[in-house]
Amino acid sequence: MRQLGMVIDLNKCIGCQTCTLACKSQWTDRGGREFMYWNHVETKPGKGYPRDWEAAGGGWDNDKLMPGRLPRLAEDYGIPADFNFDTALFQVTDQPLRPLDALQWGPNWEEDQGAGDFPNGYFFYLPRLCNHCTKPACLAACPRQAIYKRETDGIVLVDQERCRGYRYCVAACPYKKVYFNPLAGRSEKCIFCYPRVERGIPQACAYQCVGRARHVAYLDDPEGAVHQLANVWRVALPLHPEYGTQPNVYYVPPLSPPTFDASGKPTGTPRIPDDYLRQLFGSGVDAALATLQGEIARKEEGGESALMDLLIAYRHGDMFRLSRPEEGKP
Amino acid sequence: MERREFIKSTAYCGLALAFGGPLASLRAHAAATLPPQPWEDLYRDEFAATLGDAMGYAFHCSNCQGNCAWKVYARDGMVTREEQAAAYPPIGPKIPDANPRGCNKGIVHSKQMVQADRLLYPLKRAGRRGEGKWERVTWDAAIDDIAARVVDSLQGQGLASLMVYCGTGILSQGRRAGPLRLGSLLGAQRLYPASAVGDMFTGASLAYGLATVGHTLDAWFEAKTILLWGINAAVTRIPDAHYLMEARYNGSKVYCITPEYNATAKLASNWVTVKAGTDSFLAMSLLHNLFRDGLIDRDFVREQTDLPFLVRIDTGDLLRHRDLRDQGKDDVFYCWDEASGSAQPMPGTQGHFKKSLRLGKLKPALEGAWEVKGKDGDPIPVTTVFAQARAEALRFPPERTQAVTGVHPELVGRMAKDLAGSDKAIVNIGFSLHKYVSGTMTCWAAALACALTGHAGERGGLDTENNWSLGGIGPLSSPKPARFASGFFSEWMNGGMEQTMRRHYSDAHLKEAVGLDHREIGELAEHYAETSDAWFGKPRALLLFADNMLQRNKSEAHYRRAFIEDLDLFVDVNHRMDSTALWADYLLPAKSQYESWDIRGELGYHRFCNITVPPKGLKPVGETKSEWEICLLLAQAIAREALRRGIAAIPDPDFLETKDDKAAPVMRDLVNLAEDFTDHNKLTNDEDVVRWLMEKVPAIAPWTPEDAMRHGYVTLNRQAGFTSPLYANRPFYSFEHNVYLRQPYATLSGRQQFYVDHPLFKQLACMTPTAMTPVRPKSFPLGFWTPHTRHGIHSQWRANAQLLRLQRGEPYVWLNPDAARARGIGEGDPVRVYNDVGEFQARAKLMPAVPPDALVMDHAWEPFQFRDRLGLNNVVAGLLSPLELATGWGHLSFNPNWDGNMLAFESAVEVEKCKEMTA
């Protein structure tokens, strides 16, 4: 089986939510999906989206599925509210423009909040989508066997004809990236834009990323950025590897400007604590950050760096390699 | 599906679903080979549906400088989706390309254009202004009544009583041309928009005679040092922000100078945590280090700046020809020539016969004190601008300014060293700095830092924002002279903002912080009104296009009352109901971004001129019309009304033209207004206008509308650069004409100017760059500033449902958690923000990124999003920066490069928890 993978460079992510809305207008602005964000960007540290997803269970303990919780619509996802445009703007009223239902949460609720104390506060952006895992908990949890992984590209899909909406998959996914469509009565999730990919057009979230943070390639493509960054340079890491699902979306971990000491002098210590990044990306994060810093230093001194050139991505189009190299080809 | 039904059907999502263990026997994770899955066509068909049956191109024309080419897909005449065209060609192999330009705002316009705040039909006010009672009327009825009332105003109150203002909601050359042309033909008042919104870079104007200078932003990639000063590029320059991180990966040091930690600070090598409004002290300390450590490119400053110019020690004035000769010139200046040991005139100044900066045999001294013989024979003691600027800078050692700015000397030292040591360095000045009185000085000092280190031309330098010189547009947008009014000053006067200034700043405080008290500022304003070339006078009839003036103006409710109370007619042409439209007499529904032909190419962040071509067969939204068509209808109706009343033309003696060798007043020809507007039927619609522009603008040649329609854009040619050629294969840098060809700058000295002896500058001791204390009063504990939001372009898209769902659905303020705790305020609590100017209510969002002595809010929420419709500008006092009222000195006289700013960040507030609003 071939696996299509994605690397998201968290240093290039500016939290603009263009990917979120590219995905929304491509797939989730209709038909009961309005509340879903197959792709979203959350600010870390934070409870994220859906709220407290990291504490909602799911995933694997070795070969045993872990129990998981279903997120709630208003409290954990957030209502896709309409607004009182008519009354607030075209009638005699003293009411301001407001959501018709008060919002309790949303996909970007904690925007730019993060943690720490001024002036040493910190935050970064974490774009999230279905990881199209190699060992998908959703797939294993489905009693209908409605979830499958495609041979040609490793994309994990919920068969919309087989699915009966039992939502075991929603609970089983430790990333909480499967959603239940109440209108269709079925579970749905990111489809890695297979209808685009099949036509040679990269995923909306990746192709439309204005920060040029996302690389897409097959993992077995030795020239592809995913293999290069994840396997050769080892600067791209899966999110929460301990969940055991073996994600195929990888992240280049975030650098951050130094903290200040009591006198206001920059310390040289990054403001995002290493411990926190280890919690998210596992123990490989130290080496990844060291490699990034080393290669940046090399460039600062006027040297060359193939890694930096890869992350710079001189041509937007070169960030995506969707053609499938023939097996055995040199 | 109905919303209620949706919520009901998902209610059972709340049940916890737990596994005791694997439910079913575990399936192999490695997928078995599966047969083709016919159901997969479900999503394939959906994708095909979003691609639709027709495609057009568009950019999003608002006060955003991004200018991004998008594909717009439509099916059955309805827009289905937009996607960045992502087709700009690379300019060279080692510069990242500009794709895919376009952000979270552009991408929701397909929703915005049909959102329920869209204006669909002409509406006429049926109650009091702002009451919310509207009557739907026909286009004919609306246009005829408006035209009659415009003619009433012109006839009864004079030509100057009409204001035709196209605000920053439309800044493109195509759609903007209609209102500009109509206003120009009628001699109507028009504000300078950049000044009205507080986006003038007066510090750059002082230095270069140009407000907008800089680079294409791909130049970031080549720079070795980048100072981002008061600019949150990751939020406000979304399409180009990638160049910053790519620059870091390319070995660049990026310093982000801003009081709050933000998305740009996150990607910087260093965050420089400057206390709000103290930037000019930091800038002076930067200069201090450069002077102290001799990090100075002496050849550059000798030739390219006025630093070698002689200054009279006795008067503080620049030494002029008139000081040495009877009837000498005012605009010839001197250096001390080390070659001849005498004072010699510097070539290239405005009054010098030699129009070149080449020094020839001159060896201008940078430091020293001498005596020259005055015209009456007495010796005049002189020194150099360099010596004066140096002495001023040495007053601000970083060890001392740290107490003011909070910036550690170590960081100042690193910035100075990196700036001086980099072959290419760029100092970006954002729109935040000139929202403080001291902004002029900060920017001027930053320009001096670039000059001292020789950063201009290909070596980088100051960047306010580069704009292209398109040329050739005059006959379209300004066929006759219009009444140009200062943006900031007119708004201040029209809104009676002196009152809120008096309320918020005590006399003593103003005197101490600004150097002038209320009376003196009042006198200065009066003097400015009398002597400046800017037009003044409150309008009586207002045709307003795409401008949210009742949202953006400071002292919001106060401004609104003062401004609209005298209006006899207020027509708002808009695609949506904004906070200004709510108060209009007539609402005329306009087309929006995808529905009208348009073209935009003046924005210099990249070199591409975008075009909007609606998808074929696009159905109109409601009864909307293009701005061009609306202006044409008005022109026709005004002509009919004038004919009916027997007024052929109104003479306008404020403007003279030559007729038969005699001076004659410009005639405002009303009966032929429609013929003049269409240039005899050559310009009948928005498409004609775009075609005219593509044909007539030299910087667009040789491209044709057909070329643009194939790709959504064309590439500008080398003529597009103001101060340098725009080369096809490398980023654009300003001032190559000056640095390499030695052409004089557009300043009095013909050089980068760092000494101004205007009496006001002398009075305020600002002859060279210096520091100015924040004007924020101590009477309220929290500084209040409102940086740009990522979820709107000012108020555009601020009420967009898609984007509000990615926020919290309603306005919130950012509070430091400690500041909130001290006031008993928790996350999400409703709060009341107040001072002696006004108040507003919002929710609290606790942000460690914000300093404890501040209340920050991303700007431009619509007043109608707040309780009682009182928006955030209600707590912002009206304030003028006295220096920006200087006029009648060299390059400092009212023009697009010298106008002032509405000051937004100099107010102080307090905040308290308040009661929840009940619906």
SS3 at position B716: coil
Q: To the nearest whole percent, how much of chain A has pLDDT over 90?
A: 97
* Predicted local distance difference test score (pLDDT) of residue A328: 46
Which A residues, 213 through 272, put their C-beta within 8 Å of a C-beta on chain B? 213, 254, 256-258, 260, 263-266
Write out the H or E segment, with its range, that includes residue B816: none
Considering CB atoms only, which of B11, B134, B848 is closest to A115? B848
Q: Mind listing the pLDDT tens digit for each residue in B126-137? A: 999 999 999 999
B492 neighbors B498 (Cβ within 8 angstroms): yes
Mean pLDDT of B643-654: 96
* Predicted local distance difference test score (pLDDT) of residue A44: 98
* Predicted local distance difference test score (pLDDT) of residue A324: 59
DSSP B613: B
Does residue A327 surpass a pLDDT of 70? no
Which A residues, 195 through 214, put their C-beta within 8 Å of a C-beta on chain B? 195-196, 198, 204, 207-213
Does residue B29 surpass a pLDDT of 80? no
* Predicted local distance difference test score (pLDDT) of residue B1: 40
* Predicted local distance difference test score (pLDDT) of residue A330: 43
* Predicted local distance difference test score (pLDDT) of residue B63: 85
Cβ–Cβ gap B402/A264 under 8 Å: yes
Cβ–Cβ gap B107/A93 under 8 Å: no
**pLDDT band of B917, cuts 50, 70, 90:** confident
Mean pLDDT of B649-677: 95
Does residue A208 surpass a pLDDT of 80? yes
Residues forming beta bridges with residue B81, ordered by sequence position: B73
Handedness of CA B98, B244, B449, B516 (dihedral sign): positive
Q: Mind listing the pLDDT tens digit for each residue in A260-299? A: 999 999 999 999 999 999 999 999 999 999 999 999 999 9
Length of chain B: 919
SS3 at position B624: coil
* Predicted local distance difference test score (pLDDT) of residue A325: 55
* Predicted local distance difference test score (pLDDT) of residue B25: 37
Please tell me the distance from the alpha carbon of residue A216 to that of residue B378, in angstroms, as a whole number.
Answer: 78
* Predicted local distance difference test score (pLDDT) of residue B65: 85
Tell me the pLDDT of chain A averaged across its residues: 96
Does residue B243 surpass a pLDDT of 80? yes
Considering CB atoms only, which of A22, A86, A167 is closest to B107? A22
Q: Strand order in B460-463's β-sheet?
A: B270-272, B253-257, B225-229, B425-429, B460-463
CB contacts, 8 Å: A264 with chain B? 273, 402, 406-408
**B255 to chain A: nearest residue by CA?**
A257
- Which of the two residues, A143 and B32, has the higher pLDDT score? A143
* Predicted local distance difference test score (pLDDT) of residue B111: 97
B713 neighbors B611 (Cβ within 8 angstroms): yes
Phi, psi dihedral angles at B254 (to 5 degrees): -115, 120
Tabulate helix, strand, coil % of chain B (nearest 5): 35, 20, 45
Does residue B23 surpass a pLDDT of 50? no
**pLDDT band of B5, cuts 50, 70, 90:** very low
CB contacts, 8 Å: A171 with chain B? 17-19
**pLDDT band of B21, cuts 50, 70, 90:** very low
Mean pLDDT of B256-268: 98
**pLDDT band of B4, cuts 50, 70, 90:** very low
B908 neighbors B835 (Cβ within 8 angstroms): yes
* Predicted local distance difference test score (pLDDT) of residue A326: 55
The pair of three-digit structure tokens given for residue B186, joined into one six-digit string:
């009628």
Q: Compute how many other C-beta atoms are within 10 angstroms of the C-beta atom of residue B744.
A: 20
Q: Compute how many other C-beta atoms are within 10 angstroms of the C-beta atom of residue B777.
A: 18
Looking at this protein, which amino acid is placed at residue B845? K
Is the minimum CB–CB distance between A175 and chain B shorter than 8 Å? no
Interface test with chain B among A312, A318, A319, A320, by most B beta carbons within 10 Å: A312
Cβ–Cβ gap A14/B862 under 8 Å: no
Does residue B482 surpass a pLDDT of 80? yes
Q: To the nearest whole percent, how much of chain B has pLDDT over 90?
A: 94
Q: Compute how many other C-beta atoms are within 10 angstroms of the C-beta atom of residue A189.
A: 25
Write out the H or E segment, with its range, that includes residue B322: helix B321-324
Q: Mind listing the pLDDT tens digit for each residue in B41-85? A: 999 999 999 999 999 999 998 888 899 999 999 999 999 999 999
* CB-based contacts of A306, cutoff 8 Å, min separation 6: none
Does residue A254 surpass a pLDDT of 70? yes
Tell me the pLDDT of chain B averaged across its residues: 94
Q: Strand order in B162-166's β-sheet?
A: B134-136, B123-125, B586-589, B569-574, B541-545, B162-166, B189-191, B483-485
Does residue B919 surpass a pLDDT of 90? no
Phi, psi dihedral angles at A13 (to 5 degrees): -70, 125
Kindly report the three-state secondary structure assignment for every residue of chain A: CCCEEEEEECCCCCCCCHHHHHHHHHHHCCCCCCCCCCCEEEEECCCCCCCCHHHCECCEECCEECCECCCCHHHHHCCCCCECHHHHHHCCCCCCCCECCCCCCCCCCCCCCCECCCCCCECEEEEECCCCCCCCHHHHHCCCCCEEECCCCCCEEECCCCCCCCCHHHHHCCCCCEEEECCCCEEEECCCCHHHHCCCCCCHHHHCCCCCCEEEEECCCCCCHHHHHHHHCCCCEECCHHHCCCCCEEEECCCCCEEECCCCCEEEEECCCHHHHHHHHCCCHHHHHHHHHHHHHHHHCCCCCHHHHHHHCCCHHHHEECCCCCCCCC
DSSP B645: H
B234 neighbors B470 (Cβ within 8 angstroms): no
Phi, psi dihedral angles at B744 (to 5 degrees): -65, 150
Does residue B666 surpass a pLDDT of 80? yes
Q: Compute how many other C-beta atoms are within 10 angstroms of the C-beta atom of residue B763.
A: 13
Q: Mind listing the pLDDT tens digit for each residue in B729-755? A: 999 999 999 999 999 999 999 999 999
* Predicted local distance difference test score (pLDDT) of residue B141: 98
Interface test with chain B among A75, A77, A89, A123, by most B beta carbons within 10 Å: A89
Checking ipTM against 0.95, whether it exceeds it is yes
Please tell me the distance from the alpha carbon of residue A120 to that of residue B520, in angstroms, as a whole number.
Answer: 43
The string of DSSP codes covering B85-101 is ---PPPSSTTS----S-
Please tell me the distance from the alpha carbon of residue B729 to that of residue B712, in angstroms, as a whole number.
Answer: 21
Looking at this protein, which amino acid is placed at residue B379? P
The pair of three-digit structure tokens given for residue A307, joined into one six-digit string:
């890694």
Question: Based on the number of CB atoms within 10 Å of its own CB, is B139 exposed (0-12), middle (13-18) or buried (19 or more)?
Answer: middle
